[in-house]
Amino acid sequence: MGDSGYIFVEFKDRAAAEEAVRQRNNYKLDKQHTFLCNLFTDFEKYDNIPEEFVTPVPEPYKFDWWANPARR
C-alpha cells in the first residue's frame, strides 16, 4: 500500500507516552485505515526477530475463578 506514513512525537515523560499509545493504538480513522501507535523503544523488539520461528512453550491454564466461589 502506498498510503503508509510515519510520525514521531515526543512526550514529557514515559507515562504520558504510554498513555498516548493506550488511547490511540488501533484507532479507526475510517473503513480502510487504522492508526497504529508504538513506543519508540518497541522498535528494538521488532527489529530483532529471529529468522527461524521457535514455538513458545504453553503455560498451564489457570482457572482459579472457577475454584474460588467468591470470584464466580
Condensed to tens digits (0 to 9), the pLDDT of residues 33-63 reads 888 888 988 887 778 788 898 898 988 877 6
Taking CA atoms, 17 is separated from 13, 32, 56, 58, in Å, by 7, 26, 30, 31
pTM of the predicted model over 0.85? no
Strand ranges for the chain from DSSP E? 27-28, 34-35
